[in-house]
Amino acid sequence: MASEAPKSSLSLLKRFIGEALSHRRTLVIVILSIIGSALAVLAPPYILSVAIDRYIVPGNYDRFWVIALLYLCALIAQWFFATLQTFYIEVFGQKVLRDLRARLHEKVLRSSLAFFKNQSTGDLVSRIINDTGIVNDVLVSGLLGGLGSLLSLVGIIVAMLLLDVRLTLVTLTSVPLMILVAYYFGGKMRRAYRETRQKIAKISSVVEESVAGVETIRAFGREAEVEREFSRVSRDTIKAYLRVAVYMGLFWPLMNITSLLSVVFVIAYGGYLAYQGAVSVGVVVAFIQYAQRFRGPINNVVSMYDSLQSALAALERIYEVLDDENVEDYRGIHFNKLGGEIKFDNVWFEYERGRPVLKGINLHIPPASKIAVVGRTGAGKTTIANLIMRFYDPTEGRILYDGIDGREISRKSLRRKVGYVPQETYLFPGTIMENILMANPEASEEDVIRVCRQLGVHEFIMRLPKGYETSAGEAGKLLSVGERQLISLARALLKDPDIVILDEALSSVDPKTERLVQDAMLKLMEGRTSIIIAHRLGITRFADKVVVVDNGKIVEEGPPEELLARKGHFYRLYTSQMGEA
């Protein structure tokens, strides 16, 4: 394992660089500005030494303005290239970041539901936002900045060697010490800083939980505990910040002092050499300036090395998502219209290997018939709906639509013709109108109103503060589960589907809304193949056939009145629910 790590880090980096190279033009500007910047840093000390040796010391001020102007130009060039470098590294980094995030986001949208089973939302969001951010900071800004720093260091050393070898060696004596300080204290500072970010995240999550769970906290009288938890996290945060302050306070002054050590050596030894006439005063001044220019680049290079490991780990998490093979395939036969016949042919299904949830389902649903699927919680009812939508494909067996195996039909085309009303309606940010319109991009606002009138939902929507223009966020707080399901029903009808799947949520609905939802459901089902996952068994009286699922198998099927008369599974479910009611 240990010997594999560097190789895989290298291949990760290689892949990343290969992908980043798609923005070659920006990268060329970055490299040119880095080279320009490294050269520009070298010029001012050298020009200063010439000014001192040729003009100031001999007292020759003839055309001194030329050298002064040159010095000014060198400073301007230094400023110009540094700005250019910072800006274009950011441009390049943002382009790479945008690509990565877009690919990850697209991947999430295209992944099959099996992919989400092993992912928590928080973790996935963190990979798309934080990990890509770390990769940009370290592998783009850090690496390119580090490259610039390395170039500056090499440039400074070469310039010094050209001026005087002895003084160069004296200047370099404090470099190992500087590396040590940068590595030891710089590392500690960065780790402490990372900790502050974690603590802030922790505070946010405590606040978030307090807001989200305010009712539960009050109901169970947990206010004092939650407050204590908040104070504890706050104290930890302060400690983390103070630790950063201590290391910051130590780090930069220490780096300054170590770099000044070189200056002291240069002044002492250079002064001695100058006194002996072995070097000029200008050269000594140039060395003093070069010695002070070491600090920044050394810190950059060391810190880059230090953060590389965490960036590689982030990169690995990103590629893990990008390389996941659970992707939905949209190829296959396209339909403009489905006949509506569905047939389950010995369908087995497992979410997890070796744990079948559906065990050999055989079911024939004729066109335009209404089937109610009932059963205890966890029996496999929603799984049947998931398979009809092709959110998953059967592990064994086939589902035939008008006699064609579902695997051969394009998922997109199939879903366009299936109206799915899930148990919980998700409302996107935007208005109620936009939320219904999203079901069918070709529909107009008039179509939405027509559909809502048809379902008997129009009056209810008009009673909302701004009618169809009420924002979903506002409505989210105002609407009950049943009312949300009404919006979901309107969405389904707007698609004019050939097949309807209803996961009814009537159990948590008041009688008045229940009536409204039920009527809307019946209107949606009219003339369409319909599968109702029924939690309230009252609705089964509208079904042509009831299918009782238990432990992944169909244990009973037939018209509702026949099943009731038979006094089997359905009868027992029905009477126990009526008893509860």
Catalog residues that contact ligand ATP under the rule CB under 6 A: 117, 351-352, 357, 375, 377-383
Please state, in angstroms and rounded to a whole number, the distance separating the CA atoms of residues 362 and 370: 17
Q: How far is the CB of 534 from ligand ATP (least distance, A)?
A: 10
Q: Is the Cβ–Cβ distance between 23 and 90 less than 8 Å?
A: no
Tell me, rounded to whole angstroms, the distance of Cα 463 from its chain centroid.
38
In the complex, minimum distance from the CB of residue 438 to ligand ATP, in angstroms, rounded to a whole number: 25
Burial class (CB in 10 A: 0-12, 13-18, 19+), 88: buried
Contact 482, 510 (CB under 8 A): yes
Q: Is there a contact between 571 and 560 (Cβ–Cβ < 8 Å)?
A: no
By CB neighbour count within 10 A (0-12 exposed, 13-18 middle, 19+ buried), where does 211 fall?
Answer: exposed
Q: Which is nearer to ligand ATP, 89 or 357 (CB)?
A: 357
Token digits for 406?
Answer: 């579902």
| Nearest approach, Cβ of residue 357 and ligand ATP (Å) | 4
Least Å distance, CB 484 to ligand ATP, is: 17
Note whether 342 and 499 are within 8 A (CB).
Answer: yes
Q: Closer to ligand ATP at the Cβ: 62 or 352?
A: 352
CA distances for 116 relative to 335, 351, 386, angstroms: 28, 12, 14
> Nearest-CA neighbor of 489 among 472, 478, 505, 476?
505
Give the nearest distance from C-beta 353 to ligand ATP in angstroms. Answer: 11
Shortest Å, Cβ 381 to ligand ATP: 4
> What are the distances in angstroms from CA 176 to CA 227, 291, 320?
49, 13, 39
CA distance 82 to 269: 32
DSSP-derived letter for residue 504 is -
CB closer to ligand ATP, 121 vs 377: 377
Q: CB of 117: closest distance to ligand ATP in angstroms?
A: 5
Closest CB 531 distance from ligand ATP, rounded Å: 12
By C-beta, is 117 or 232 nearer to ligand ATP? 117
Rank residues 299 and 383 by Cβ distance to ligand ATP and give the closer one.
383
Q: Closest separation between CB of residue 87 and ligand ATP, Å?
A: 47
In sequence order, the 6+-apart residues with CB closer than 8 A to the CB of 80 are 36, 40
**Nearer residue to ligand ATP within complex by CB, 498 or 557:** 557
Residue 104 tokens read as 């990850």
Nearer to ligand ATP, 336 or 377 (CB): 377
Shortest Å, Cβ 379 to ligand ATP: 4
Q: How far is the CB of 219 from ligand ATP (least distance, A)?
A: 24
CA dist., res. 119 & res. 115, Å (int): 7
CA distance 312 to 244: 24
- Report DSSP state, residue 507: G
Residue 94 main-chain phi, psi, to 5 deg: -65, -35
Report yes or no: 203 and 234 within 8 Å, Cβ to Cβ.
yes
Indicate if the alpha-carbon torsion angle 529, 535, 540, 545 is positive or negative: positive
Q: Nearer Cβ to ligand ATP, position 12 or 373?
A: 373
Single-letter amino acid code for the residue at 231: S
Cα-to-chain-centroid distance, residue 15: 20
Task: Kindly tell me which of 351 and 571 has the beta carbon lying closer to ligand ATP.
Answer: 351
Q: Answer whether 293's CB lies under 8 Å from 156's CB.
A: yes
Q: How far is the CB of 533 from ligand ATP (least distance, A)?
A: 6
Closer Cβ to ligand ATP, 41 or 379, answer by number: 379
Residue number, 315 or 517, with CB nearest to ligand ATP: 517
Cβ proximity to ligand ATP, 184 vs 351, nearer residue? 351
| Tokens, residue 530 | 């319909």
